[in-house]
Amino acid sequence: MATPIPIPRQSQDTFDDHAVSSSPPFTRHRVTDYGTSPHQSSPTFNHAAGSTVNVRPKVLKPFATEELRLLLLENISQDAVRAFTDLGFQVDFHKKAFSEAELLDSIGKYHAIGIRSKTKITARVLKAATKLLVIGCFCIGTNQVDLDTAARAGIPVFNSPFSNSRSVAELVIAEVIALSRQLFERAYEMRAGTWNKLSAGCWEIRGKTLGIVGYGHIGSQLSVLAEAFGMRVVYYDVLNLMPLGTATQVQDLETLMSQSDFVTLHVPELPETTEMISTKEIGWMRRGAYLINNARGKVVDIPALIDALESKKIAGAALDVYPTEPGGNGQPFDDQLNPWASRLRALPNVILTPHIGGSTEEAQRMIGFEVSSALARYLSYGATLAAVNFPEVDLRAITAEQDFIRVCYVHQNQPGVLRQLNEILSDHNVEKQYSDSKGDIAYLMADISHVSEADVQDIHDRISRTKANIITRLLT
C-alpha cells in the first residue's frame, strides 16, 4: 500500500475561509467512544420585541478521547484538506485511488473516508471499517459505494450532486462548437504539417437544434447557455419539468433524437439507462447529427456508436466517460480495458476526453467545500441533511448556556424502539428530539439535559444494548 502524505494537525483553534463553514471559529475537536462534538457556532435569536442577541456557543468538553482520523483519496481538493486539518482532524491524503486490498489493509483505523469516482467502497470494505462513521463522495455519483450496506452499518454517504454543473455545461458547449467546426481534425492536420482550409461540413451553431436528454441541473444550465448562442433547445426527461427560457419538452426520446442536430446526454447510471443509446436510438438521429456523452459511460453502446461513425450515419461524437476507465493518470486507455478502444481512437471525428467534465478549479473547490461541510456537520453535530442513503435529520444548535448532551442513535426501523429509548432517557429532560426513517434504517437525534458526567457512559451503554441498535454516539 502507498505511504500516505502526512497532513499535520494545525495548532490554531480557528479555521480560515477554506474551512467548512462561514460561521464563527470552531474549537479543535476529538471523538470519544460515545462521540464528542465541537461547540456550535454562535446563533442569533430574535426576541419578541424585535431585538437580537448573540448567544455564546457551547465549548467542547471531551471525555476520554481518540483523534478523529480521515482518509482522503484521489487527490481531493486541498481546500477540503485544509478545512479538516483546521478543525483538528488527523488527515491522511493520497493522490491515487485505493484498490480493495489497500482499503481492507487500512480502513479499520479511520472514522471517515473521502473518495472520488475510482475508489470502490464494497461490502467487504465496509465490514472491515470497524470505526467508520461517514463516507464522502467528492463527486456527483455514488455508484462506487455499496449504499445499502453502508446504511445498514449506520454509515451515511454524502456527495456533491450540483457543484460541477456549470463546468460540465460549458464543456458541452465547447464540444458542440468544436464538432460543428471540425476543430480537432484541423488541429491534427496542422500538427502533421498539413494546411487544409475548408468550409465543407463546417457550421455555425446558431439556429441549430440541441436535444438534451435529462433536464436536471446540468441539462437546464446547458439549455440557457445554448439559447444564448442562438440554438433551439428541446429536451426529454422522465419527469414533466418547467423549461428555462424558450426550451421545449418533448414526450419521447425518438422525437428528440429525430429533431436534433446535436444530442447530449445528462442522465444517471441506472439499470434503465444502461445502453439507452444503441443501434435503434442512433437510427432515429438525423444523418449528419452529433452525439455527446458527458454523463455515464454505460449510457451509450459504444460499438453501435462506432458503427454509426464509420458508416457516416452521424457526423461526429464527443465522449468524456466510458464503461471502464483507467484507475489513474498515465495508465493506458486500450483494448485490454475496453475491446473497442483502438477502433474508437482511430476515428478522426470523435472528441475523446478523460472524464474531465467537472475538472475545473471552481468545481473542485465547490465540491471540496460542500462535501467537507457535510462530513464535518455529521461528525460534529450528527446532522444528516442531504445524505443519499440515510434518513435526513438535524437539530438546532446547542449554546454555551445549555448544559445538554446530544444523543445520535442509528437503529433498525422496527416497532417499540422509541418507547425503549425514551425509557432510558426518562431520568433526564428531553429538550429536543427528532426522528426519521428510510427503508429499514431509522435515525434519532435528541438533546437531553440534567445529565451528570457520570451518567454519560451509562446512557451510552444502555442505548447501545438495545436490540435495534446499530450505532450510538453521544456528543457534548
Whether residues 190 and 155 fall in one domain? no
Whether residues 232 and 135 fall in one domain? no
Q: What is the pLDDT at residue 454?
A: 84
The DSSP-derived string for 26-94 is PPP--B-TT---PPPP--EEE-TTS-EEEPPBPPP--SS-B--EEEE-S---HHHHHHHHHTT-EEEE-
- Phi, psi at 290, each rounded to 5°: -130, 145
Is the pLDDT at 360 greater than 70? The verdict is yes
Alpha-carbon distances of 389 from 45, 273, 368, 384, 441, rounded to whole Å: 33, 21, 20, 10, 9
462 is catalytic: no
Q: Which of 309, 296, 301 has its CA nearest to residue 351?
A: 309
Whether residues 216 and 304 fall in one domain? yes
Q: What is the pLDDT at residue 327?
A: 81
- 65 pLDDT band (50/70/90 cuts)? low
The CATH number of the domain holding residue 96 is 3.40.50.720
Whether residues 191 and 73 fall in one domain? no
What is the grid cell recorded at 452?
451528570
Residue-wise pLDDT tens digits, 99-156: 999 999 999 999 999 999 899 999 999 999 999 999 999 998 899 999 999 999 999 9
Active-site residue (options: 325, 343, 392, 462): 325
Is the pLDDT at 8 greater than 50? The verdict is no
Residue with cell 455499496: 146
What's the CA gap between 158 and 135, in Å, rounded? 6
- Phi, psi at 379, each rounded to 5°: -65, -35
- 58 pLDDT band (50/70/90 cuts)? low
What's the CA gap between 346 and 355, in Å, rounded? 19
Alpha-carbon distances of 97 from 75, 76, 375, rounded to whole Å: 8, 10, 20
Active-site residue (options: 29, 355, 460, 473): 355
Q: What is the pLDDT at residue 170?
A: 98
Q: How many structural domains compose the chain?
A: 2
Whether residues 149 and 174 fall in one domain? no
Contact 322, 302 (CB under 8 A): yes
Q: What is the pLDDT at residue 42?
A: 36
Helix (H, G, I), strand (E, B) or coil at 408: strand
The DSSP-derived string for 111-132 is SEEEE-SSS-B-HHHHHH-TT-
355 is catalytic: yes
- 453 pLDDT band (50/70/90 cuts)? confident
Whether residues 372 and 286 fall in one domain? no
- 402 pLDDT band (50/70/90 cuts)? confident
Whether residues 309 and 391 fall in one domain? no
Active-site residue (options: 94, 296, 406, 460): 296
What is the grid cell recorded at 22?
462561514
Helix (H, G, I), strand (E, B) or coil at 346: coil
Whether residues 123 and 173 fall in one domain? no
Range of the domain at 40: 5-162+362-395
Whether residues 330 and 185 fall in one domain? yes
Residue-wise pLDDT tens digits, 181-220: 999 999 999 999 999 999 999 999 999 999 999 999 999 9
Helix pair angle (165-180, 183-191), 10° resolution: 70
Whether residues 101 and 129 fall in one domain? yes
What's the CA gap between 445 and 438, in Å, rounded? 15
Residue-wise pLDDT tens digits, 240-278: 999 999 999 999 999 999 999 999 999 999 999 999 999
| Across 38-47, 70-79, 416-425, least confident range | 38-47
66 is catalytic: no
- 342 pLDDT band (50/70/90 cuts)? very high
